[in-house]
Amino acid sequence: MQEKLTLQPIAYIRNDYTAKFGIPRQSGMVAQRAYIFFEREYQDNNALRGLEDYDYLWLLWGFHANRQGKHSLMVKPPRLGGNRRMGVFATRSPYRPNPIGLSSVRLESVEYKKGFGAILVVEGADLMDKTPIYDIKPYLAFTDSHPEARSGFAQNSLMYRLRVEFPQELLNYIPKEKQESLISVLTLDPRPAYQHCAEECYGLSYGEYDVRFHVKDGVLTVFDVTLTDKAVKIK
């Protein structure tokens, strides 16, 4: 019997995804900026030497917000309407034997903050705010990229987008530098695939804002934006 492996976070991510609802289902789909802060033990600049020479990184992280019960070997992927079962290892479901996620993100820069050492500024992460990161590896295009590869049932959802109607008077509540990313999140249709009732209203937490919307005939309409107390403070 193999010895059990215990993982400890090396870092945490900070971004505007303050709740699970609405987070892109894959990395790289939204140009959302995020910040990776290292635990004190790993704030030595030597640990990042040479990293700035790469454009993309792999993040190995944990689904920390899941209520872990007994996992199932069959899951119902949201993009299949939540009514068809697939093997857990044929999906990227967060409910797995080991709750570990893998994401490819674009490295924008390596910055230095007093008291925190080096931090990474990345783009395209599909991680919830404060998600623990267990490891970081460079992305190697010559071996990690396979553009000719088949994508199974996930292929059918690659081009699915909603049209977003966001009244200007409501959009003005959102800081300009965050407006484009928020709209991109909404175009991906954050609703569960099995909840497509035109009369249903939904709420999405984005940074310190609560965004309310409904969807009908392929159009997502925002009808309310409220400031909350969930402000994301990047120290």
Domain's final residue, options 152, 167, 192: 152
**CATH number, domain at 80?**
2.40.30.70
Which structural domain, as residue segments, surrounds residue 122?
11-152
Residues 183 and 165 in one domain: yes
Domain's final residue, options 104, 120, 152: 152
Residues 174 and 105 in one domain: no
Q: How far apart are CA 112 and CA 110, in angstroms?
A: 7
Q: How far apart are CA 174 and CA 177, in angstroms?
A: 8
The answer to whether residue 1 sits within a structural domain is no
* pTM score, whole prediction: 0.86
Residues 147 and 207 in one domain: no
What does the pLDDT read at residue 235? 47
How would you write 105-134 as a 3-class SS string? EEEEEEEEECCCEEEEEEECCCCCCCCEEE
Residues 33 and 136 in one domain: yes
Residues 22 and 61 in one domain: yes
Q: How far is CA 49 from CA 45, 53, 89, 172, in A?
A: 7, 9, 35, 41
* Total domains present in the chain: 2
Domain's final residue, options 152, 170, 203: 152
Residues 49 and 103 in one domain: yes
Per-residue pLDDT for the chain (235 aa), expressed as one digit of tens each?
Answer: 677 888 999 999 999 999 988 888 888 888 899 999 999 999 988 999 999 999 999 999 998 877 766 677 888 776 666 678 889 898 888 888 888 999 999 999 999 988 889 999 999 999 999 999 999 999 999 999 998 988 887 776 656 789 999 999 999 999 999 999 999 999 989 887 666 666 789 999 999 999 999 999 999 999 999 998 654 555 4
Query: Which residues have a Cβ under 8 Å from the Cβ of 43 and sit 6 or more positions away?
Result: 116, 117, 118
